């Protein structure tokens, strides 16, 4: 919230009011049942209005997106998975966790094992597999000595402590990486020509 308020350039009173709104809201609603990012942005928007320092909702949302890139990237991955067979075979929570993992791998922090520019499918696969392997080892009783140092490692630790099927996450991750590899090589003109060819060969255009 502090970072969002600073980017918007609002007064301290606005932040104090927004914090009060959030505390009141979460005193009655479980955080697990909400999207904290939306709650935070909404609280800041309402507080700025109440304190006579209004900001357009589009500006608040835009600044929030800039501060939480992993969230937007994860949603993009979730949207992309509908172009695969994954929705037919895996539960929504499995897809969501896979999307979070790939988002963290694609946008690691400064101390991460990957650089932000290394976003090829091969590098993504290596980083994702390393995180899942660490989670699997921790689940089997072999702790990760470097656990908790990066977002990816913290996520792997959380995954190991959960009851989630890691093998399913591995399969989903590999499927999405294969999809992105195919997307990189996709040629729309060639694909259209191939489709037209088999349509004409079987007289399906009549």
Domain 1-54, architecture per CATH: Orthogonal Bundle (1.10)
Tokens matching residue 33: 């049942």
pLDDT confidence of residue 183: 82
Q: List C-alpha distances in Å: 84 to 6, 16, 120.
A: 40, 45, 19
Tell me the Ramachandran region of residue 126: left when phi exceeds 0, alpha when psi lies from -120 to 50, beta otherwise.
Answer: alpha
pLDDT confidence of residue 90: 92
pLDDT confidence of residue 124: 57
Spell out the domain ranges in the chain.
Answer: 1-54, 68-202
pLDDT confidence of residue 112: 31
pLDDT confidence of residue 113: 31
Tokens matching residue 32: 């697990």
Q: List C-alpha distances in Å: 22 to 29, 34, 96, 138, 178.
A: 10, 12, 25, 35, 41
pLDDT confidence of residue 204: 73
The model's pLDDT over 51-61, given as tens digits with 9 standing for 90+, comes to 666 565 555 55
Indicate the pTM of the whole model: 0.55
Q: Which residues of 97-114 are buried (b: 16+ CB within 10 A; e: fewer)?
A: bbbbbbbbbbbbeeebbb
Residue ranges of the chain whose pLDDT lies below 50? 108-119, 146-148
């Amino acid at each position: 919230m502090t970072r969002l308020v600073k980017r918007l350039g609002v007064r301290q009173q606005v932040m104090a009011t927004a914090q009060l709104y959030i505390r009141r809201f979460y005193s009655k609603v479980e955080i697990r049942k909400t999207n904290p990012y939306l709650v935070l942005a909404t609280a800041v928007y309402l507080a700025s209005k109440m304190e006579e320092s209004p900001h357009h909702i589009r500006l608040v949302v835009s600044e929030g997106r800039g501060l939480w890139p992993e969230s937007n990237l994860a949603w993009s991955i979730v949207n992309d998975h509908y172009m695969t067979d994954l929705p037919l075979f895996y539960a929504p929570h499995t897809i969501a966790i896979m999307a979070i993992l790939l988002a963290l791998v694609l946008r690691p922090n400064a101390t991460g094992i990957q650089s932000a520019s290394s976003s090829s499918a091969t590098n993504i696969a290596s980083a994702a597999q390393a995180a899942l392997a660490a989670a699997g080892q921790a689940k089997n009783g072999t702790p990760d000595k470097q656990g908790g140092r990066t977002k990816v490692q913290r996520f792997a630790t959380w995954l190991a402590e959960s009851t989630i099927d890691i093998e399913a996450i591995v399969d989903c991750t590999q499927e999405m990486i294969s999809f992105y590899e195919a997307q990189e090589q996709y040629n729309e003109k060639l694909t259209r020509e191939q489709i037209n060819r088999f349509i004409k060969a079987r007289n399906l255009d009549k």
